[in-house]
Amino acid sequence: MFEFIEEQITNFKKIVFVTGAGISQESGIPTFRGKDGLWRNHDAMKLATIDAFYDNPKLVWEWYNERRMNIFQAQPNAGHKAIAELEKYAEVVVLTQNIDGLHQKAGSSKVLELHGSIVKIKCTVCNFKEEILEEFSDVPPVCKCGNILRPDVVWFGESLPQDVWQNAMSFANSCDLMIIAGTSLVVSPANTLPMYAKQNNAILIEINPENTEMSEDMGLVIRSTSAKVLPELVSLFKKSYD
């Protein structure tokens, strides 16, 4: 599977992962665009928007509450754990589009949440922010300032937090290996990160059972699931180092 990089495995000192909903699929969390991406006949892509929120804040809050319940039950899978274990052999940074916190739960110490986090909420007007600990009885909850609260995530049409995006680009620009796992690479600007890495001569590896928007640009494409493939990658490092 990894013959392509086997001899040079000890050259990889800075590894960046770009992950998406697919890496959490084997933890039982639905992806966005897969057939499991529907929610009560609503298209996730249509719900993760500022318009959907202001159109029907209650519906969007119910969607996030249900996802939060599902996420709180979910455990990191072998893919998340393998990425965390790789920190023994290289500097590893995870740039994730996911808001489920499973990389951190698996033990990854350097994770940038490009699209926010399901446990964070903020006020739509004032700068109130907090971590949500238990569900609100009625939604949408209201801030002390009288305005409604919202999930602290990045919706379509909203820009990513400047500092997060700057950091993500600099990690992509300075890695020697980028592994793109579980993402369709449909959503920008996250889908530009592999190009930054490629421009800086990093090797790109895609792990995905399906084709993506950038499969032809990859150095190596592994048509399988992340929970199966990533532990293999770790054993390769283990063999070379231990």
Catalytic residues: 115
Q: Which backbone phi and psi does 185 adopt, to 5 degrees?
A: 55, 35
> E strands within 99-164?
111-113, 116-123, 129-131, 149-153
Report in angstroms how near the CB of residue 122 gets to Zn ion at its nearest. Answer: 8
Strand 177-181 relative to strand 14-19: parallel, antiparallel, unpaired? parallel
Residue 21: DSSP 8-state: G
Report in angstroms how near the CB of residue 205 gets to ligand BV8 at its nearest. Answer: 12
Stretch that binds ligand BV8, among 83-91, 128-136, 156-164, 168-176 (CB under 6 A): 156-164
Stretch that binds ligand BV8, among 8-16, 23-31, 50-58, 130-138 (CB under 6 A): 23-31
Interaction between residue 145 and Zn ion (CB under 5 A): yes
Interaction between residue 108 and ligand BV8 (CB under 6 A): no
Report in angstroms how near the CB of residue 10 gets to ligand BV8 at its nearest. Answer: 26
Interaction between residue 142 and Zn ion (CB under 5 A): no
How far apart (Å, rounded) are the C-alpha atoms in residues 32 and 45?
7
Interaction between residue 2 and ligand BV8 (CB under 6 A): no
| Residue with the two structure tokens 């700068």 | 127
Q: Which does 76 bind (CB under 5 to 8 A by kind): ligand BV8, Zn ion, none?
A: none
Residue 7's CB: how many other CB atoms inside 10 A?
9
How far apart (Å, rounded) are the C-alpha atoms in residues 17 and 26?
17
- Which helix (DSSP H) or strand (DSSP E) does residue 43 occupy? strand 42-43
Interaction between residue 117 and ligand BV8 (CB under 6 A): no
Interacting residues with ligand BV8 (CB under 6 A): 20-23, 25-26, 31-34, 37, 48, 97-99, 115-116, 153-159, 181-184, 186-189, 207-210, 212, 225-226
